[in-house]
A and B are shown apart, each in its own frame.
Chain A
């Protein structure tokens, strides 16, 4: 029965139980909760954050941290929209948009890994830099009038499910398998857990760190493009505050700022829990102003339980 014990000890299990309890409670509390439209609405709501969470977990596992993802969402969205408006083919514009996201991530990673500036400070600068740049290039105006084929990226449905959900689920599954099982991505756990040990084991630490930031930028880019397509417009305020929500979800899901811990499944459950809290409070008719408060309390509670359970063993 050790495998059962091992599962119970996992952080994912704890959050899964909380999610399950909420599910059961809400099914009885609100007739509308357990219906396909509502479940899809919840999933659609969390999909954009979940996409970023995939890369953020990997980054935090390797000991990194990125405050700039919200700004990257806005900047890649705006840049892609402007390229589309100038008549560029959809395929090329999306590709360039993704490239911009990855480039910003690489820029962050290079400064952190090679120059050695603290991740918080570096990405806090990027947060302002790229939000500012978005405002400069768009003159603070939203960009509308995007081609139909582009909007399909965010608005099409496959067997009744919106594309953002499908994109998020695919990335979550691939990401989870790779981070859990591939030797390549497991290198990041060594780096976050003990950088010195990682170096001694022959892991190319700096290269892996830069890669982790690059992927985070790339995934923020994906999220930005999908968001722009879904809204049919690039908004200059897109993604503001997203970095904090993603990091909150990832930490609820078992990652730590010290690195070496965390999983994509956990991060997804963290994101799901936050979305469910919002959904439940809305359905129960609780004043919206409570939502942020409850999420703060959830984060604190998750971390408290974790710390206390570690202290007891």
Chain B
């Protein structure tokens, strides 16, 4: 019996032009949660996909309980005790909870006919692990919340009875409460002897749930450590390879302008948000905090004309506006970075160059309607340099970029519009530490040029680190306003959860 339940030795995996894994080793003990951290492109996903049987390593060995194994397919890895919960949900939306969990392994009766009764019973048994036995196993997955879909995904992995469960960014779409619930469940499963590999960008989570951690950078293992003995700075320094002195960058010397850019008065949208009033001045970064479902994104979309408000008024500069469509908002000078860049922000199969100009093609169009390709290229090259978009060439498809680089392109497309007000919804979701600090620096620069920024974020350190002023929403209402230097985790959370009352200066 080996000391390790899973061990990878000197794994090498090469893709055309990149050495994704360069002799990476990893050891996992029985019953521990082992975190895997690193920036995008560090090789976390490749390692995970190799351990999950999707990629075959070029060199190196994998041992499960001391025995060397080779995985032919993800299915094969499952049978040998390793289950991967993917970040991109691998569920079939039209099918039921039960059929998703038992995909292609439905219990059968004679003639290979599906035994629905047994499948539903087995599903309820699994749901009971998360205290969800009241759910109907025949519910189609597309009627479930994202968090619940994530649970189904985890149950599917657990149903293989694995000895190792690999979780890739499991919390990216969960609320705080759901994250707590997930952690409770991880602890419960851990007590039963299950081991975890836990991949996350949220360093805070690692200190909460992990026992040990391995840091990857540029396809190599930088170090591993017992979580008890290290701190966040240690991780960041090892991940980035340089220490990030001030993640959130300093406010420039330029003071916040006198002029109000956006003034929102008594804005309401039925059953979504009510009676919202606030203003943002030139060069000001206003953080909009609150729990998921508090109506923040809806407020942002409403200002942007995507879901127009029912009543209330908006003033941009001196002009009253009432955008009914995004186009009207863009023309008025409002930019909006969506929280879901992949489905709403970028065209994944278009190139970087095409995406960068997608929302202001007019600027590159001649009088007779032809595009000025040279000008587009020049603009794209400038954007790449300004925003530090890491790419071999501008003809690269967006799909192939890391999350951080995609987000930088998205910022670029909106800055190109020349907005007076930029609404940024979860600007650094799924983005690694290095790209995060680049995006923060960019936001500072934009603010320095007088752009007003409304930053919607569920990431508290980001709200506290970036905001000149913090607004807090709760259940569709604006419940508090705190100057940036007085905001703390405690008072923002308390306002968002409704445990204290705040004040709003209208």
Residues of A at the B interface (CB closer than 8 Å) are 2, 6, 181-184, 186-187, 189-190, 192-194, 196-198, 200-203, 260-261, 313
Contacts and interface: CB of A to CB of B under 8 A. Distances in A.
B114 A260 contact: no
Contact of B75 (A2, A189, A193, A201): A201
Contacts of B73: 202
B488 interface: no
Nearest to B74: A200
Contacts of A198: 92, 103-104
Contacts of B111: 182
Contact of B104 (A2, A6, A182, A183): A183
B92 A189 contact: yes
Contacts of B95: 189-190, 193, 260
Interface in B82-104: 86, 88, 90-95, 99, 103-104
Nearest to A189: B95
A77 B118 CA distance: 46
| Interface size bracket, B side | 20 to 34
Given A201-B104, A202-B73, A193 B113 contact: no
Contact of B90 (A182, A183, A186, A194): A194
Q: Is the interface of A mostly helix, strand, loop or mixed?
A: helix
Nearest to B93: A193
A187 B104 contact: yes
A194 B108 contact: no
B232 interface: no
Interface string B318-341: 000000000000000000000000
B401 to A, nearest CB: 19
Nearest to A195: B92
Nearest to B54: A200
Q: Is the interface of B mostly helix, strand, loop or mixed?
A: loop
Nearest to A190: B92
A202 B75 contact: yes
Contacts of B99: 186, 189
Nearest to B143: A313
Contacts of A200: 54, 74, 86, 90
Contacts of A203: 103-104
Q: Which of B73, B104, B113 has the most CB of A within 10 A?
A: B104
A181 B113 contact: yes
Contacts of B358: none
A190 B104 contact: yes
Nearest to A199: B74
A244 B88 CA distance: 36
A21 B74 CA distance: 50
Nearest to B112: A183
21 contacts: A6-B138, A182-B112, A183-B104, A183-B106, A183-B112, A183-B114, A189-B92, A189-B95, A190-B92, A193-B92, A193-B94, A194-B93, A198-B103, A198-B104, A200-B54, A200-B86, A201-B75, A202-B73, A202-B74, A202-B75, A260-B94
B386 interface: no
B298 to A, nearest CB: 17
A202 B91 CA distance: 14
B90 A196 contact: yes
Nearest to B106: A183
B399 to A, nearest CB: 13
Interface string B109-137: 00111100000000000000000000010
A183 B94 contact: no
A190 B94 CA distance: 9
Contacts of A189: 92, 94-95, 99
Contacts of A190: 92, 95, 103-104
A260 to B, nearest CB: 4
Given A193-B95, A198-B92, A261-B94, 5 more contacts: A183-B114, A190-B95, A193-B94, A194-B90, A260-B95
A6 B73 CA distance: 37
B114 A194 contact: no
Closest 8 A-B residue pairs measured CB to CB? A193-B92, A202-B75, A260-B94, A201-B103, A197-B90, A201-B104, A194-B92, A181-B113
Contacts of A197: 90-92, 103
Nearest to B105: A201
Nearest to A6: B138
Nearest to B90: A197
B36 to A, nearest CB: 20
Contacts of A193: 92-95
A157 to B, nearest CB: 32
A260 B93 contact: yes
Contacts of B114: 181-183, 186
A10 B93 CA distance: 16
Q: Which of B86, B88, B113, B136 has the most CB of A within 10 A?
A: B113
